[in-house]
Chains A and B, each alone.
Chain A
Amino acid sequence: MSSVAVDVLLGLAVAAALVCVAGVIVMRTSLDRLHYAAAATTVPAFLVLAAVLVREHVSSGGLEAIAVVALLFLLNPVLVVATARAVRRVEGHE
């Protein structure tokens, strides 16, 4: 039962990552691309974390996976804001 849950969670995570990559490639403006790039640290990351926790529970590996996803989720908004400011400067809005 748990292996089915892991498979489903990982399948959803990969599908979400595919959507993010497709969005970055297809979108026309840099800010739209940035939106999809930022989304990769939320949905796919938490789905991968859920798959790891289903298999590992709260062992040392599970705790380290929580640390990785927490770092991605908490640090990435700072990077998104810095990149958005760079986009505005490059495109001459400031």
Chain B
Amino acid sequence: MNAFTIAATILIALLAPLGLLAARRRPIDGLIALELGSTLSVLALVCLAEGFHRSFEFGVAIAAAVSSWIGGLVYARFLGRWL
């Protein structure tokens, strides 16, 4: 384990309280927790790519950043219109 993999582990562990918040609070608060969770996931992917010295895995982080942004926009529109 190096510093990057340890940081990635902590960032992934931080998703657990956000999942609890998303399950217990209102849907709009769950969306905010989801947005923070997707940001932390992207940062964890960057740390894992650097920690394991696999530069091609940075592409996964780029794809995750774009797809989570699109997903967040769709959820925000949905919650704003139908809730």
| Bound: A40/B29 CA distance, A | 16
Is the pair A85, B65 in contact by a Cβ cutoff of 8 Å?
no
Interface centre among A68, A82, A89 (most CB of B within 10 A): A68
Residue A58, interface by CB 8 Å: no
Is the pair B35, A37 in contact by a Cβ cutoff of 8 Å?
yes
Interface majority SS (helix, strand, loop, mixed), chain A: helix
The residues in B between 1 and 48 inclusive whose CB is less than 8 angstroms from any CB of A are 3-4, 6-7, 10-11, 14, 17-18, 21, 26, 28-29, 31-33, 35-36, 39-40, 42-43, 46-47
| Bound: A85/B21 CA distance, A | 21
Contact with B along A27-56 (1 / 0, CB 8 A): 000100110110011001100110110011
- Interface size of A as a range: 35 or more
Is the pair A40, B40 in contact by a Cβ cutoff of 8 Å?
yes
**What is the CB-to-nearest-CB distance from A87 to chain B, in angstroms, rounded to a whole number?**
6
Q: Report if A76-B36 is in contact (Cβ < 8 Å); known contacts: A21-B17, A24-B21, A64-B59.
A: no
| Bound: A25/B18 CA distance, A | 8
Cross-chain contact of B76 among A13, A45, A85 (Cβ < 8 A): A85
Residues on B with C-beta less than 8 A from A71 are 62, 65-66, 69
Is the pair A86, B62 in contact by a Cβ cutoff of 8 Å?
no
Is the pair B46, A52 in contact by a Cβ cutoff of 8 Å?
yes
